[in-house]
Amino acid sequence: MGVIRVGVLGFGGLGQAAAMVLHPKQEMQLVAVADRGGWAYRADGLPLHELLSAVKERGTVAALPEWGHTDSDGIAQVMTQAVDGFFLALPNLPNTFMARVAQQFIRQGWQGVLVDAIKRTSAVEQLLLLHPALQQTGITYLTGCGATPGLLTAAAVLASQSFAEVLTVKITFGVGIASWEQYRSTIREDIGHLPDYTLEQARAMSDAEVEQLLARTGGLLHLENMEHADDILLERLGICSRDQVTVGGVVDTRNPKKPLSTNVQVTGRTFEGRTATHTFTLGDETSMAANVCGPAFGYLKAGVALQRRGSYGLFTSAEVMPGFVR
Ligand code: NAD
């Protein structure tokens, strides 16, 4: 496998972290980025520090001197460049957005690997319907490849192997970030999971309204029984039914320290009739960005291997083992 030419779509909190994660890698190189303001491409690799400072100062990758371009549809532009695989670090707002982006790649007749870190069950259901079209086009699309769904779902698949029957899968996450403005879409999508809100309401909130809500909660979001695609990914594999999977957690938007340790607990019955729980806990020092971008590129590497073997269509983080990017 030669050096994998990578593009990152969306250059907010996760997109920028993704660029930093890629920087020291030998096996992958960041060659393309796009955000709401435009796009940038450089066949020999984009300069990280110039890119980050262009975005910090001017708010878009289009501001990167020499290689940046202003465009209202940067995604359409980067898909015409030489890129092996894209990480879609895009907000899924509205809930149909990621499926629409996938359809844009299909219409273009693009061939390569796409990886997302999408969260909602209903969003993954839309992508599953695209399997035949992706397959026909020659796209290998891996969905749900962040932390949850993603790393923790894959861990649940491994944990289930000890059991004859899986009784429950319980995912509990703790996220700590210094400020909500670092991850605006993530926080808006999380607000959309609160009991009194819909995703559309959260999407329509102004920044001031988000700040007012966070002021009322001391910067904390307590999330329970979230609509998270871990359920459908595990159900598709026959591990358990979706109603046996629960996802919830606490997000602190004012402190990078995690409010609790992220973990997945898989409870099952062994062939001897004993009930037990396997727990996989992430180290508290690992950030949300590390636990999303690491898996996303691990799955992108696995996707490239599948693509080179002629395997196209829709795959999930639960059914493919991620690679490790050196
Ligand atoms: P953000 O708001 O910080 O950044 C979003 C970026 O997307 C911006 O650069 C914006 O310009 C760009 N963008 C928006 N619309 C676009 C368009 N039409 N064309 C091109 N670019 C566009 O977002 P974030 O907080 O980094 O979150 C990104 C996504 O990651 C969210 O959907 C979030 O739910 C997901 N996420 C997943 C996990 C997981 O574990 N699976 C964890 C955290 C975040």
- Do 95 and 183 fall into the same domain? no
- Do 11 and 129 fall into the same domain? yes
- pLDDT of the residue at 1: 66
Give pLDDT tens digits for 74-94: 999 999 999 999 999 999 999
pLDDT over 80 (residue 316): yes
Looking up tokens 């299909």 gives: 106
Give the count of alpha carbons within 13 A of 8, CB side only. Answer: 28
Q: How confident is the model at residue 33 (pLDDT cuts 50, 70, 90)?
A: very high
Is 159 among the domain residues? Answer: yes
Ligand 1 proximity of 7 Cβ (cutoff 6 Å): no
3-state secondary structure of 306: helix
Q: At CA 101, angle to CA 121 and CA 1, rounded to 5?
A: 95
Q: What is the mean pLDDT of the chain?
A: 97
Q: How confident is the model at residue 2 (pLDDT cuts 50, 70, 90)?
A: confident
Ligand 1 proximity of 253 Cβ (cutoff 6 Å): no
- Do 159 and 276 fall into the same domain? yes
- pLDDT of the residue at 57: 97
- Do 220 and 279 fall into the same domain? yes
Is 322 among the domain residues? Answer: no
Q: How confident is the model at residue 4 (pLDDT cuts 50, 70, 90)?
A: very high
- Do 132 and 172 fall into the same domain? no
Give pLDDT tens digits for 145-204: 999 999 999 999 999 999 999 999 999 999 999 999 999 999 999 999 999 899 999 999
- Do 158 and 95 fall into the same domain? no
Shortest-distance Cα residue to atom 5 of ligand 1 = 12
- Do 17 and 137 fall into the same domain? yes
Domain that holds residue 162: 151-284
Phi, psi dihedral angles at 131 (to 5 degrees): -50, -50
- Do 78 and 124 fall into the same domain? yes
**What CA–CA distance (Å, rounded) separates 280 from 297?**
21
CATH number at residue 111: 3.40.50.720
Looking up tokens 């909660």 gives: 217
- Do 84 and 58 fall into the same domain? yes
- pLDDT of the residue at 311: 98
- Do 36 and 63 fall into the same domain? yes
Is 59 among the domain residues? Answer: yes
Where b means 16+ CB within 10 Å and e means fewer, 61-92 reads bbbbeebbbebeebbebbbeeebbbbbbbbbb
Query: Span 214-222, mean pLDDT?
Result: 96
pLDDT over 80 (residue 73): yes
Ligand 1 proximity of 74 Cβ (cutoff 6 Å): yes
Quote the number of domains for the chain: 2
Looking up tokens 């955000």 gives: 35
**What CA–CA distance (Å, rounded) separates 132 from 118?**
20
Is 326 among the domain residues? Answer: no
- Do 45 and 133 fall into the same domain? yes
How many Å lie between the centroid of ligand 1 and the Cα of residue 254?
A: 19
Contacts (Cβ under 8 Å, ≥6 apart) of 37: 59, 60, 61, 62, 63, 70, 74
Is 226 among the domain residues? Answer: yes
Is 323 among the domain residues? Answer: no
How many Å lie between the centroid of ligand 1 and the Cα of residue 174?
A: 19
- Do 157 and 132 fall into the same domain? no
How many Å lie between the centroid of ligand 1 and the Cα of residue 61?
A: 14
Residues in the chain: 326
Give pLDDT tens digits for 241-296: 999 999 999 999 999 999 999 999 999 999 999 999 999 999 999 999 999 999 99
Q: At CA 207, angle to CA 205 and CA 210, rounded to 5?
A: 65
Percent of the chain with pLDDT over 90: 99
Residue 251 pairs in a beta bridge with: 175, 221
